[in-house]
Structure 1
Amino acid sequence: MRAPGFWHEPAGIMAAALSPLGALYAAGTARRLRKGPRESVGVPVICIGNINAGGTGKTPTAIAVAQRLAARGVAVHAVTRGYGGEINGPVQVDERSHDAKQVGDEALLLAAFLPTWVSADRVAGAKAAVAAGAECLILDDGFQNPGLAYDLSVVVVDAWRGFGNGKVIPAGPLREPVDVGLTRADMVVSIGPEAAQTRFAATWGAWVKVPQLTGALEPLATGMSLDGVPVLAFAGIGHPEKFFQTLRGLGADLHATHALADHQPLSDTLMTRLLREAWQRGAQVVTTEKDAVRLSPEFRSRVMTVPVRLQMDDWAPLDAGLDRVLARK
């Protein structure tokens, strides 16, 4: 599903018409979050979530946090619901036997960096991870989940899009109102280049009452230059244009771009069409890491992947938060 354009524009007629439904959605989220006490599983839990629906950079943030913890010698596992996957779990993701249709693309991407558990029931997934030796858990996209207690909550936001028009689904892109959601956050990570950070600060800075960290997704050096290379790019992520801008920044000669819906299945028919178009244009097909894990083996070797990693302007606030959480356990 691709987000409606009016979600990221100043609130207009459509947003106003849908606002009563947005109020009902927000009330449902609040009611769900009031359900009973959250359950602790005996190890630190770090929630990487968002207020927006759709991609904001949660998975790269979760990977970055996992790497900071691993550098401290902590056995860290991820727990995720496995968006779009068929398996309810709890089950540990095995890259050799699972595919995106079973566990979701984000779970497969996380599993390349740390043990990852897919579970529709987050508490059950957390308990399974702890039983398998996890000393700390990263709860991926569980900010609105009422079941599992967490020790540190990190809200991730795309700096350019911010919180959109400030309205709740379906009037806007939010799962809950900004002021309500941020009262539960320990810190906010805004992701984007300098111009995007300036825009976010001007529009939403006054709403952020907790420490705000700024960072950007930077291409990982792979030894393969795209400078001047004719490229056909596709991306099925929350904000495909970010990926296309990354390619332009690497000097790629973009002959065509295809913005797909977030998590869109990459069928043989679609991939055959894209590869044929690239051949006709004399271009290399390029995509994101998240999209690449959804490719069938037949096409994976024919598509170039450009990985990105989160680089913070200042890691100190995050590191301090992680140290506090680990010291309490």
Structure 2
Amino acid sequence: MRRAVERLADRWWYRRRRPPVLLRPLAGLYGAWTAQRLERPEAVPPIPVIVVGNLTAGGSGKTPVVEALVRMLRDEGVAVGVISRGYGGEEPSRPLEVTAEARAVTTGDEALAIHRSTGAPVWVCRDRASALAAAVERGCDVVISDDGLQHTALPRSFELCVIDGRRGFGNGALLPAGPLRQPLSRLRDVDAVLVKAPVVADLPDAFPRFELVPSGWGRVSGAPAEPPPRGDIDAVAGIADPERFFESLTAMGYRPRRHRLADHQAIDRSWLAGLPGPIVVTAKDAARLDGESRRDLFVARVEARLPDSLREMVRAHVREFFHE
């Protein structure tokens, strides 16, 4: 059912130039209801807080960008922590630190995938300001928030808006008539914009681009693995843009049987066991699998290749924050 709803929304939001007439009044009500969180909050955090978010419902490549920024800052000796709402999990009201043995039904798949990929401390909480406090108490020098542009309770010092270059902003309408959680005017307030390539949507050329590139193969446990043999595979993707994942596997010489799941959808183990295999999943999908269900299951890892301009902007922000 969720997948059917997502397909319907995708058709309404991204394949029609004008939003459905019946949904336009609801978009107006949504805008009025969320008016208090349409502007950037003014509160100043005690340490640099970098929010990596987007304006649209659904994914845009935020999580790989968060992971790339964590690795960049950590390599420069900065103690980095990550905070998240923990979408898809229990979304606790008090900060919960993610461990490698945690389950996605508790922490959410993205938070667990970030921790397993980077080893950085990650806290999930419905109130991200409380998660920030937990990170500060632990001694983090910088905190990166996975999503949160619309979470006005979280003070922040730097905002990065990530845009999916394939889908852009769709029909440009607010939910539910369109994919926007905030109006496009919100872009004027962010510190940086980043577009995930390839770019198909009509977006300004001035927005810098980034790519997701393959970074190796692994097991659900996180252990490295040799790649599956070239040929027919079952590709399983419960992410916002599964077609990009399938296309990347095709470019590597595989012939994927495409299994599209809803974003964050739980993976049925009995269904998975019945696939011919070998099976390839994304890192986010792997976070929703508890243990190795079969020996021919592989995780295709990717990483964000960030433009030098953004990397230097973030470095400069962190330096300047402590000298103001």
TM (normalized to structure 1)?
0.87
Match of 1:103 among 101, 107, 111: 107
Q: 1:149 aligns with which of 147, 152, 155?
A: 155
- The separation in 2 between residues aligned to 1:244 and 1:66, in whole angstroms, is 27
Distance 2:216 2:127 in 1: 37
Question: Contact 1:151–1:325 (CA<8 Å) still a contact in 2?
Answer: no
Does residue 74 (structure 1) correspond to residue 69 (structure 2)? The answer is: no
- Give distance in 2, aligned partners of 1:156 and 1:304: 28
Q: 2:266 is aligned with what amino acid?
A: P
Would you say the 8 A contact 2:79–2:140 is kept in 1?
yes
CA contact (8 A) 2:228 2:298 kept: no
1:295 is aligned to: 289
Cα separation, 2, equivalents of 1:257 and 1:57: 20
For the 8 Å contact 2:228–2:278, the answer to whether it is kept is: no
Partner of 2:204: 205
CA deviation after TM superposition for structure 1 residue 111, in Å: 1.1
Conserved in 2, the CA contact under 8 Å of 1:29 and 1:144? no
What is the CA–CA distance in structure 2 between the aligned matches of 1:190 and 1:28, rounded to whole Å?
Answer: 29
Q: In the alignment, does 2:308 pair up with 1:315?
A: yes
Question: Which one-letter code corresponds to 2:71 in the other structure?
Answer: Q
Aligned partner of 2:31 in structure 1 is 26
Q: Deviations over 1:24-66 (max 9, x none)?
A: 212222223469x654441000000000111110100101111
Identity percentage of aligned residues: 36
Deviates more, 1:317-326 or 1:55-64: 317-326
For residues 290-312 of structure 1, the C-alpha deviation after alignment (integer angstroms, 9 at most, x for no partner) is: 00010121526542110000113
- 3-state SS in 2 of match to 1:204: coil
Letter in 1 for 2:272: L
1:83 and 2:87 equivalent? yes
Give the equivalent residue in structure 1 for 2:53: 49
Mapped to 2, the partners of 1:277 and 1:86 lie a distance apart of 30
Q: Alpha-carbon deviation of 1:87?
A: 4.4
Report deviation, 1:149.
Answer: 1.6
Name which of structure 1's ranges 214-223 and 152-161 shifts more when overlaid on structure 2.
214-223
The runs of 5 or more residues in structure 1 that have no matched partner are none
Question: After the TM superposition, which residues 94-173 of structure 1 pair with which residues of structure 2 at under 5 Å, given as runs?
Answer: 94-96=99-101, 98-112=102-116, 113=118, 114-173=120-179
The letter for the 1-side match of 2:310 is P
2:226 paired residue number: 224
Equivalent in the alignment of 2:280:
286
SS of structure 1 residue aligned to 2:20: helix
Distance 2:32 2:159 in 1: 21
| Cα pair 2:80 2:140 within 8 Å, conserved | yes
TM-score by length of 2: 0.88
Q: Distance in 2 between matches of 1:21 and 1:184?
A: 25
Q: Check 1:122–1:245 CA distance in 2 against 1; reply closer, same or farther (3 A cut).
A: same
SS at match of 1:244: helix
Tell me, in whole angstroms, the C-alpha distance in 1 between the residues paired with 2:183 and 2:313. 28
Shift of 1:317: 3.2
Please give the root-mean-square deviation of Cα atoms over the aligned residues, in Å.
2.0
1:92 paired with 2:87, answer no
Q: Tell me: CA distance 1:326–1:166, structure 2 relative to 1, closer, same or farther (3 Å).
A: same
